[in-house]
Amino acid sequence: MAMAAASSSASFLRPSVRRPHNKPRISCSSETLTPRRSPDENIREEAHRLSISSVDPRTPLFSAKYVPFNASPNSTESYSLDEIVYRSSSGALLDVQHDMDALRQLTGAQWRDLFDSRVGKTTWPYGSGVWSKKEWVLPEIDTDDIVSAFEGNSNLFWAERYGKQFLGMSDLWVKHCGISHTGSFKDLGMTVLVSQVNRLRKLNRPVVGVGCASTGDTSAALSAYCAAAGIPSIVFLPANKISIAQLVQPIANGAFVLSIDTDFDGCMKLIREVTSELPIYLANSLNSLRLEGQKTAAVEILQQFDWEVPDWVIVPGGNLGNIYAFYKGFKMCKELGLVDRIPRLVCAQAANANPLYLHYKSGWKDFKAVKAGTTFASAIQIGDPVSIDRAVFALQSCDGIVEEATEEELMDAMAQADSTGMFICPHTGVALTALNKLRNSEVIGPADRTVVVSTAHGLKFTQSKIEYHSKLIPDMACKFANPPVNVKADFGSVMDVLKNYLNKAPRF
């Protein structure tokens, strides 16, 4: 990746927009070095001062608003992002629509240079992978209101051995979105949502706290960002359906945690009823702000490939916001000229919670919600996905595919991936199973550049790995289990065990 040493970011708006032929300033010469920030100013205050001094009344700023999702071209319904609104007047989903003409004042090459110039810095707030694309996310928010943990910029891992050994592939990549502040990609969206809530509270809008229903990761991200900003958070969790690691996160971050004896869909229904009665802001992915942050992972993938477009991107899907977010990120890059095409997307579901898969298989006929069965991929155990319309739109627009994975398939895929040096979550196992199937059917070719999106950190899901490697899962062969060997504490016993192992050990 091109790493530029420039510090053009803070003052970019004015000069770049007024002189579209100028690239953002990129230089290594010592004249452009700025003296170190004075000790009585922190990075947030510094960014605030620089942004105030760069505001030029003649400069048309970028802007965004809520519109009904996929509205007809003659619809005029829209809402300011400063309004508290989750649905359109007809009850449809909302979408954040950017002023694309304003964004077109920069060429694709200028956007690429600008985004590249911000990577790997601590400049507030551009050190974040999300806020390094601020103009495409929440263009109008004051940097002072942003709540960020410098999320994003996650590793794009070349899965050399997994690709070669299990799939005969040479160009397979895993985008580790779960190597993040709270261990899942939910951070990307939550920084945006909580920043906007922070702004609303400063504008004295009636928001006493932020609430969500969650399969685990959303509540972890919500509570961390709220805690960082000093905003109360309230989370509804299905009792006994999330991992201990996920449960302990909101508890530790001081959220008000309600453990409710129902499933995710039941919690979702309750939080929607509660938030229509109380001034609690709803943080579920019904809320389209989060998708604006999540879409930056797509931009980041292109950036990490030096703006070469991969052939396939595979995303595990539950509530189905993320698959749309990826589509939106890629589509924006194409529309604004950063790239000339978009990848084909694959959405991967657990067979025990597969309403989108069934819908796809029926040729996109009538959609039917299902009652989600238990799955190790607990974050996608959702039978009635809120973002179904968004997902269908995304997949139809990019010639996408939907696949599914049984429990045995996803656990085996996870174990195989782990055996090549990864440590993935079960959801990523679902995505890898989809890839296995599409390779077997030759839909994906051996040299196709393919990105599997890893959605959470494997360390959140150690319990399922322990059960697998202990062969404790009913009706599952656990073919790739690698249990520890118990051995007496004496030299002879240890040598016996080791010799036995070395005789049988695979040789690579």
Q: Could you say whether residue 378 binds ligand PLP (CB under 6 A)?
A: no
Name residue 425's beta-bridge partners: none
Q: Could you say whether residue 317 binds ligand PLP (CB under 6 A)?
A: yes
Q: Could you say whether residue 320 binds ligand PLP (CB under 6 A)?
A: yes
Element (H, E) at 370: none
Q: Could you say whether residue 346 binds ligand PLP (CB under 6 A)?
A: no
Name residue 349's beta-bridge partners: 404
Q: Could you say whether residue 322 binds ligand PLP (CB under 6 A)?
A: yes
Q: Which is nearer to ligand PLP, 106 or 188 (CB)?
A: 188
Q: Could you say whether residue 452 binds ligand PLP (CB under 6 A)?
A: no
Rule CB under 6 A: which of 145-184 touch ligand PLP? Answer: 184
Q: Could you say whether residue 271 binds ligand PLP (CB under 6 A)?
A: no
Residues 6 or more apart from 412 whose CB is under 8 A from it? 429, 479, 480
Minimum Å distance from CB 432 to ligand PLP? 13
Q: Which is nearer to ligand PLP, 23 or 186 (CB)?
A: 186
Rule CB under 6 A: which of 210-239 touch ligand PLP? Answer: 217
Q: Which is nearer to ligand PLP, 427 or 439 (CB)?
A: 427
Element (H, E) at 50: helix 43-54
Three-point CA angle 173, 183, 153, nearest 5°: 50
- With CB under 6 A as the contact rule, the residue among 16, 148, 154, 285 that binds ligand PLP is 285
Segment near ligand PLP (CB under 6 A); pick from 92-100, 314-322, 464-472, 500-508: 314-322
Name residue 442's beta-bridge partners: none
Rule CB under 6 A: which of 407-426 touch ligand PLP? Answer: 425
Measured CA to CA, the distance from residue 65 to residue 94 in angstroms comes to 10
Segment near ligand PLP (CB under 6 A); pick from 125-133, 318-326, 354-362, 468-476: 318-326
Minimum Å distance from CB 310 to ligand PLP? 20
Minimum Å distance from CB 19 to ligand PLP? 40
Q: Which is nearer to ligand PLP, 117 or 191 (CB)?
A: 191
197, 251, 380, 329: CA torsion to nearest 10: 30
- With CB under 6 A as the contact rule, the residue among 125, 209, 318, 329 that binds ligand PLP is 318
Q: Could you say whether residue 427 binds ligand PLP (CB under 6 A)?
A: yes
According to DSSP, residue 343 is labeled P
Q: Could you say whether residue 380 binds ligand PLP (CB under 6 A)?
A: yes
- With CB under 6 A as the contact rule, the residue among 118, 133, 186, 359 that binds ligand PLP is 186
Could you tell me if 429 and 316 are in contact, meaning their C-beta atoms sit under 8 angstroms apart?
no
Could you tell me if 126 and 118 are in contact, meaning their C-beta atoms sit under 8 angstroms apart?
yes
- b or e along 192-230 (b: 16 or more beta carbons within 10 Å of the residue's beta carbon)? bbbbbbbbbbeeeeebebbbbbbbbbbbbbbbbbbbbbe
Helix (H, G, I), strand (E, B), or coil: what is residue 402?
Answer: strand
Q: Could you say whether residue 295 binds ligand PLP (CB under 6 A)?
A: no
Minimum Å distance from CB 317 to ligand PLP? 4
- b or e along 151-190 (b: 16 or more beta carbons within 10 Å of the residue's beta carbon)? bbbbebbebeebbeebbebebbbbbbbbbbbbbbbbbbbb
Q: Measuring CA to CA, which residue among 263, 321, 319 is closest to residue 289?
A: 321
User: What residue ranges bind ligand PLP (CB under 6 A)?
Assistant: 184, 186, 217, 285, 316-322, 379-380, 425, 427, 455-456
